[in-house]
Amino acid sequence: MKPTPPPIPELLHRLREKYPDARYELNWSTPFELLVATILAAQCTDERVNRVTATVFPKYPGPRAFADADTAELEEDLKPTGFFKQKTKTVQAMSRALLEDFGGEVPRDIQQLIQLPGVARKTANVVLNTAFNIPSGIIVDTHVGRVSQRLALTKQEKGEAIEKDLMALVPQEDWTFFGPAVVLHGRYTCVARKPKCDACMLADICPKVGVER
């Protein structure tokens, strides 16, 4: 029997009740800082990124400081986030491109953002949704992918294909809320191993695709 996804209005209603102030958990004070933090968060926890950026952002205030930074010193500063050599290279290349192509200002357009080194749709959506409240798309990370599959909202495996399915289901005015809310739900309730179905406000409307009964 084909699993039945929950009605989207009811799903959104319950997510809003549980996560009324849903936000991405990275700390930032400018769109550029959010862009850097999102790049650093690849294969690293938001908590660790926040610990690193607490000292890194005051030390390198803005794209010019990152672009001109001593590479070895910046590598050392970013080391706790893992894959630090690649992340340093990406952040410096992104900062230089931002200065050269956009005068150091983070563009508010997804097609322009994804031209920057190291910026794919997920990162661009995080920045546009979170910093500018622009519904450019839906943030899809590992949590959103997993929760969406369990809810039978998608059968897709890849981020952009999952996002396409979700964008067809969720009204555009809810995109900037839906992504962060589902991230939180996947991080704390619908976890990868042994999801907390007993404590889940969606349990009665969730088909629990792929969850061992």
Q: Report the CATH number that the domain containing residue 65 is assigned in CATH.
A: 1.10.340.30
> Is 150 contained in some domain?
yes
The per-residue pLDDT for 1 is: 83
Q: C-alpha dihedral over 67, 70, 71, 72, to 10 degrees?
A: -160
- How far is CA 6 from each of CA 27, 140, 193, rounded to the nearest angstrom? 32, 19, 22
pTM above 0.85, yes or no: yes
Provide φ and ψ at 202, rounded to 5°: -105, 0
Residues 194 and 120 in one domain: no
The total number of structural domains that make up the chain: 2
Residues 183 and 164 in one domain: yes
Looking up residue 201, the CATH number of its domain turns out to be 1.10.1670.10
- What is the secondary structure of 25-75 as a DSSP string? ----SSHHHHHHHHHHTTTS-HHHHHHHHHHHHHHS-SHHHHHHS-HHHHH
Instruction: Output the tens digit of pLDDT for each of the chain's 213 residues.
Output: 889 999 999 999 999 999 999 998 999 999 999 999 999 999 999 999 999 999 999 999 999 999 999 999 999 999 999 999 999 999 999 999 999 999 999 999 999 999 999 999 999 999 999 999 999 999 999 999 999 999 999 999 999 999 999 999 999 999 999 999 999 999 999 999 999 999 999 999 999 999 987
Q: Mind telling me the catalytic residues?
A: 122, 141
CB of 26 within 8 A of CB of 49?
yes
Residues 43 and 117 in one domain: yes
Residues 125 and 99 in one domain: yes
Residue 155 belongs to what domain range?
Answer: 8-22+139-205
Residues 87 and 174 in one domain: no
